[in-house]
Amino acid sequence: MAGEFSRRTEGLLDQAETVCEHRGAKLTELRRHVLGLVLDAAAPTGAYELLDRLRQSRRGAAPPTVYRALDFLLEQGLIHRVERLSSFVGCVAGCTTGHGEGESHTHAAQFLICRQCGKVTEMQDADVTAVLARAAKEAGFSISGATIEAEGLCGACRSASARRPAG
Amino acid sequence: MAGEFSRRTEGLLDQAETVCEHRGAKLTELRRHVLGLVLDAAAPTGAYELLDRLRQSRRGAAPPTVYRALDFLLEQGLIHRVERLSSFVGCVAGCTTGHGEGESHTHAAQFLICRQCGKVTEMQDADVTAVLARAAKEAGFSISGATIEAEGLCGACRSASARRPAG
DNA sequence: CATAATCTGTAATGCTATAACGTCCGCTAC
DNA sequence: GTAGCGGACGTTATAGCATTACAGATTATG
């Protein structure tokens, strides 16, 4: 039954399904459902919160249910894990970008976490990735994946606190 | 009693104590003990493993005991938390570098985690920090602290697997 | 159909971290 | 000196995050 999620989300889910097919991976109903929950959420979402939402239509769902789905989605690069928040966000690029088959599909992403409003922004800055890779290489290290998460103030909160300094 | 730890660790502890004094922070016996455990460990160490070791000489120690000490040490920049491993490592720079008073003492560090041997290397590459800050600034974001952790193969494991390709 | 592989259900457990409260100790002011 | 204060620590309980282990169901494949 299509229509569980917003029109935009359903569109992304369809694209994700196509991408998975091309890779020979199966975006099952459960996995599609969990991905939908992640994509529909306004902010990074914890596994147990996803579990609660999943239970609204899938009685008897348990932690392994959601964690197995999340593991699959992570492997496919359809979602990211934000370590600092122990939570998960959708990767728009992952839902729309095709890759070669049989590869790892993790994207190089960076997250900006506002300590004021909690908003999380995803970047995909090639320079950041490249400079880190170069620095690692100088240490004899070859990178396969990286977690880059910055905490600070987003533009909105920064200008707000500039107007009300002690805010 | 000095001599609980290796000579090198005791030296670092003494330096850390001096640094704390200059800041008006108290490196109590408990905190010194926990810092010693972290510094003496060959690898990043989880809070509950530190707790077990702490208990060998401090009966009745509980999770808050070690977490409060770790929070203090993090604030002082004497240790780092490795998010991917939910564990803690000493920051050599933090134990030896004096700072201005009343400031935040978090250092900009990057970690290289070998997926083969598990070894963790700390980098303090200024370029990585700078490029990330610049990229964030372009998004209107000002960074106060960042987690940068790369996973991959260290030099030793890379050459080992090159000799035995299917290793 | 037989078989293997994959996905999911289910129960239990383990690991990581914090809340809430009380006590002790050292410091300052009176 | 002692009353009051604040920081550090003890203690118990609980919250939050993730995995293990095994069984049943489903699907692909020879």
* pLDDT score of B167: 40
Q: What nucleotide is nearest B88 when CA is compared to C1'? A: C16
- pLDDT-derived band at B96, boundaries 50, 70, 90: low
Q: If you search the block for the tokens 């606190």, which residue do you land on?
A: A161
pLDDT, average across residues A143-167? 87
Of B74, B82, B132, which to mutate for an interface test with A (greatest number of A Cβ within 10 Å)? B132
* pLDDT score of A66: 98
Q: Is the Cβ–Cβ distance between A102 and B129 less than 8 Å?
A: no
- Chain A residues at the B interface, defined by Cβ less than 8 Å, are 83-84, 110, 112, 114-115, 121, 123, 125, 127-128, 131-132, 134-136, 139-155, 158
- pLDDT-derived band at B101, boundaries 50, 70, 90: very low
- Summarised one tens digit per residue, pLDDT across range B38-77 is 999 999 999 999 999 999 999 999 999 999 999 999 999 9
CA dist B126 and B130 (Å) reads: 6
> Tell me, in Å, how far CA of B60 is from C1' of D8?
16
pLDDT at B102 over 50: no
B135 Cβ nearer than 7 Å to chain D strand: no
Average pLDDT, chain A: 90
In this complex, the residue of B110, B142, B150 whose CB is nearest that of residue A153 is: B142
* pLDDT score of A107: 76
Q: Which residues contact B79 (CB under 8 A, 6 or more apart)?
A: B35, B38, B70, B73, B88, B89, B90, B91, B94
* pLDDT score of A137: 97
* pLDDT score of A2: 53
pLDDT, average across residues A5-15? 95
pLDDT at A112 over 80: yes
B63 Cβ nearer than 7 Å to chain D strand: yes
* pLDDT score of A102: 42
- Summarised one tens digit per residue, pLDDT across range B103-126 is 456 678 999 999 989 899 999 999
A30 Cβ nearer than 7 Å to chain D strand: no
A80 Cβ nearer than 7 Å to chain C strand: no
pLDDT at A165 over 70: no
pLDDT at A68 over 50: yes
Q: Which residues contact B85 (CB under 8 A, 6 or more apart)?
A: B44, B46, B113, B120
- Summarised one tens digit per residue, pLDDT across range A39-52 is 999 999 999 999 99
- Summarised one tens digit per residue, pLDDT across range B113-166 is 999 898 999 999 999 999 999 999 999 999 999 999 999 999 999 998 877 664
> Tell me, in Å, how far CA of A96 is from C1' of D17?
30
CA dist B54 and B56 (Å) reads: 5
CA dist A8 and A27 (Å) reads: 18
CA dist A167 and A82 (Å) reads: 27
pLDDT at A98 over 80: no
Q: How many CB pairs below 8 A link A and B?
A: 124
**Which of these, B112, B129, B144, B146, lies nearest to B44 by C-alpha position?**
B112
Residue of A7 and A95 predicted with greater confidence: A7
A47 Cβ nearer than 7 Å to chain C strand: no
- Summarised one tens digit per residue, pLDDT across range B20-39 is 999 999 999 999 999 999 99
Token pair for A68: 């197995």
* pLDDT score of A104: 55
Q: What nucleotide is nearest B87 when CA is compared to C1'? A: C16
- pLDDT-derived band at A161, boundaries 50, 70, 90: confident
In this complex, the residue of B144, B153, B155 whose CB is nearest that of residue A151 is: B144
Pinpoint the alpha helices (H) of chain A.
7-23, 29-40, 47-55, 63-75, 92-96, 126-138, 155-163
B158 Cβ nearer than 7 Å to chain C strand: no
Which residues in chain A touch residue B146, judged by CB atoms under 8 angstroms apart?
148-151
A110–B135 CB contact, under 8 Å = yes
- Number of Cβ atoms within 10 Å of the Cβ of B25: 17
Residue B34 in 3-state DSSP? Answer: helix
Q: Give the minimum alpha-carbon distance from B109 to chain A in angstroms, rounded to a whole number.
A: 11
